[in-house]
């Protein structure tokens, strides 16, 4: 595949060099964080980014006490934000990433050197469609980190290009690299007022051309079951086994309301962790849907199922904690349609037809939009996130970076409409 434009081809070498450097830094976030960021590796990458932003001429680049990197590229017109997150998912190993570039991919199976990991185009449709691309993978025993170091690299390459070419049109661009997005905390300490943008864009999507202004609404549910412990040799009519109760709750949930059985606009209940013993068990689940009422119904079903199981075991106790995580951002972004209109114009200027799909997940933009900063999401060219099979297409990454340059031109040309 050729690049989407001469601009994308120009950006590709710098973009790839940055990406390979960034993914080698271990930035996995940690659930149940006790500080921001949750892990010190995120600060290691943040410091690198500040140094690089200063080097390309963004004199106000800084790292704040919470792990957020911010900088400004001056321009004409409104203030528009560009956002990506530095952390990677805790769902797969993330230390010791060794990126491998597979040039001019020929469409065959890619057998990675470690972990027995195989990228099989028969199982990965996006890879089957990437024949001729330069594919970047890990060595097979870790994730790659394209989520979201592809987005970080694309913003950096685009901003470096704009800074080196002051004749190119751009609005004032505000850049922010956030910590802990993968654990739902990326927007928690984000200062929207200080950021000062009329809108922003996260680069945190996947397939070429994605422009997304709708995400899941999300809650986390924690079920704590306290049983009655007893020596198993003398447990008759005494022991109330919390581990067994936890397994009954999970088994009683509908099979067709799980991630592996749903797609499109279907929501789900996903039990992702069980920590259990005879005396105490904790079941953690995430609940997702695009519709608030259906989200509430899924959470109520999980609560009701747990209550019914525990009620059938005299002596057992149940505690349910429901934690809102992020809203569907659509209702906030639709009040400021110019954000998506400019993005569509930028994609088409790069020769890409916009792909308008809802995100079966969330981004920092979910909460930022609710906080008053309309923030649609753009593609990055990364695929199979949160797994050892994660990979990225250099051609698609370069297209995303070029789209950022086109987006700057669209805002500089059209100016800032009033906020609605």
Integer Rg of the chain from CA:
23
Q: How many Cβ atoms from other residues are within 10 Å of residue 295's Cβ? A: 21
- CB of 61 closer than 8 Å to CB of 54: yes
- CB of 376 closer than 8 Å to CB of 333: yes
Positions at the binding site for Zn(2+): 85, 147, 182, 204, 386
CA distances (Å), 115 to each of 105, 239, 388, 406, in order? 21, 42, 9, 40
Alpha-carbon distance 298 to 279, whole Å? 27
Task: List residues bridging with 161 in a β-sheet.
Answer: none
**Which class for 233: exposed (0-12), middle (13-18), buried (19 or more C-beta within 10 A)?**
exposed
The catalytic residue positions are: 87, 181
- CB of 377 closer than 8 Å to CB of 131: no
Residues 6 or more apart whose CB falls under 8 angstroms from that of 302 comprise 221, 223, 253, 269, 285, 287
Q: Helix 6-23 vs helix 146-164: angle between axes, to the nearest 10 degrees?
A: 130
């Amino acid at each position: 595949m050729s690049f989407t434009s001469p601009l994308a081809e120009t950006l590709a070498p710098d973009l790839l060099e940055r990406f390979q450097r960034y993914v080698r830094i271990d930035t996995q976030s940690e659930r149940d964080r006790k500080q921001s960021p949750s892990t010190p590796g995120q600060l290691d990458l943040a410091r690198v980014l500040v140094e690089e932003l200063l080097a390309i001429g963004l004199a106000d680049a800084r790292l704040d006490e919470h792990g957020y990197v911010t900088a400004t590229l001056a321009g004409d017109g409104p203030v528009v934000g560009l956002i990506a997150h530095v952390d990677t998912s805790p769902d797969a190993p993330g230390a010791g990433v060794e990126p491998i570039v597979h040039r001019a991919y020929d469409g065959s199976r890619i057998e990675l050197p470690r972990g027995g990991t195989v990228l099989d185009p028969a199982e990965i449709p996006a890879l089957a469609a990437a024949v001729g691309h330069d594919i970047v993978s890990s060595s097979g025993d870790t994730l790659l980190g394209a989520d979201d170091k592809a987005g970080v690299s694309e913003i950096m390459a685009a901003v470096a290009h704009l800074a080196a070419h002051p004749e190119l049109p751009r609005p004032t661009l505000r850049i922010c690299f956030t910590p802990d997005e993968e654990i739902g905390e990326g927007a928690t300490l984000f200062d929207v007022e200080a950021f000062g943008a009329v809108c922003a864009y996260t680069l945190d999507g996947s397939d070429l051309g994605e422009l997304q202004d709708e995400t899941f609404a999300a809650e986390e549910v924690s079920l704590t079951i306290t049983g009655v412990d007893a020596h198993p040799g003398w447990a008759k009519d005494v022991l109330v086994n919390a581990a067994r109760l936890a397994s009954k709750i999970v088994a009683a949930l509908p099979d067709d309301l799980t991630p592996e059985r749903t797609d499109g606009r279907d929501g789900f209940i996903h039990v992702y962790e069980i920590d259990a013993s005879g005396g105490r068990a904790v079941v953690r689940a995430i609940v997702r849907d695009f519709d608030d009422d259906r989200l509430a119904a899924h959470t109520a079903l999980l609560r009701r199922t747990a209550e019914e199981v525990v009620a059938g075991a005299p002596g057992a106790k149940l505690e349910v904690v429901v934690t809102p995580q992020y809203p569907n951002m659509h209702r906030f972004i639709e009040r400021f349609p110019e954000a998506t209109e400019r993005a569509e114009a930028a994609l088409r200027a790069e020769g890409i037809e916009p792909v308008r799909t809802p995100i079966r997940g969330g981004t920092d933009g979910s909460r930022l939009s609710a906080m008053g900063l309309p923030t649609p999401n753009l593609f990055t060219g990364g695929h199979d996130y949160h797994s050892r099979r994660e990979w990225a297409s250099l051609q698609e990454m370069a297209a995303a970076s070029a789209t950022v340059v086109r987006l700057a031109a669209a805002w500089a040309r059209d100016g800032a409409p009033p906020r609605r």
